[in-house]
Amino acid sequence: METKIDSMELVYAKPETLTDTPMHYCPGCGHGVAHKILMEVIDEMGITENTIGVAPVGCSVFAYMYMNVDMQEAAHGRASAAATGIKRVLPDKFVFSYQGDGDLAAIGTAETIHTVNRGENILMVFINNGIYGMTGGQMAPTSLAGMKTSTSPYGRDCATMGTPIKMTELIANLPGAYYVTRQSVHTPAAVRKLKKAIKASFEAQKQKKGTCFIEIVSNCPSGWKMTPLESNDWMEKNMFPYYTPGDIKVPQEMK
């Protein structure tokens, strides 16, 4: 006899590419949603057994606990270098790095620039929350002008601390960059756009087009000392005017 539950339409199921480990990111953090969308795409494309991810130090390091694909940990800032080695040895695998702004845009700047400049055929996922999240809320290269952090308690002074780095615009100028975009995960519409960008990046990797780079502007409620709702609102009003979501470099065949 069919029950009411049996006759219900299934609208969502957790992808097998996510483990059953409860995520311990801070409430409201964008990392969990970014994980989910990335793994959903891999699951839906049927490339789980052929995908290898690389995560370095910082909040990103937890990715290997939640992503049910082959994962490699890298030293701080060196994820794209490790991903380069993996892709060159195993060129038929889908390879991605998953890095935060303190990692990719600070200690990993050299690796980031040269990986993209060589056009390594990988996907780089870049979480930008404008702060060092795990290690105490210090100022990151991406911290906004005037932004208060544990190491800039009076706000970032651009005259002495430099201006916030727009890594995505910077690497978009390199010839090895194939597809470069900036997205977010704070609304359902934003999530759909991110999912489309990730799928397009893996499709480009299949065709050996070069480096795909996706920046995800995210919040850090704990580091920003806000509630999740306050942090989303602050992000829209302050982060988005400087780090504007949208495609930055799109090849003609993807338009």
Structural domain includes residue 8: no
Which pLDDT score, from 0 to 100, does residue 46 have?
97
Structural domain includes residue 96: yes
- Domain interval for residue 51: 31-254
Which pLDDT score, from 0 to 100, does residue 166 have?
97
Which pLDDT score, from 0 to 100, does residue 253 have?
86
Which pLDDT score, from 0 to 100, does residue 115 have?
98
Do 19 and 70 contact (CB within 8 A), yes or no?
no
Structural domain includes residue 1: no
Tell me the mean pLDDT per 10 residues along the chain, length 255. 66 88 92 96 97 94 94 95 98 97 94 98 97 88 95 95 96 98 97 98 98 97 94 97 97 85
Do 111 and 80 contact (CB within 8 A), yes or no?
yes
Structural domain includes residue 228: yes
Number of independent structural domains in the chain: 1
Structural domain includes residue 234: yes
Q: Can you give the CATH number for the domain in which 62 is found?
A: 3.40.50.970
Tokens of 160: 């002495």
Structural domain includes residue 11: no
Structural domain includes residue 14: no
Which pLDDT score, from 0 to 100, does residue 4 have?
59
Which pLDDT score, from 0 to 100, does residue 12 have?
79
Q: Which residues contact 144 (CB under 8 A, 6 or more apart)?
A: 130, 156, 164, 238, 239, 242
* Reported pTM: 0.94
Structural domain includes residue 4: no
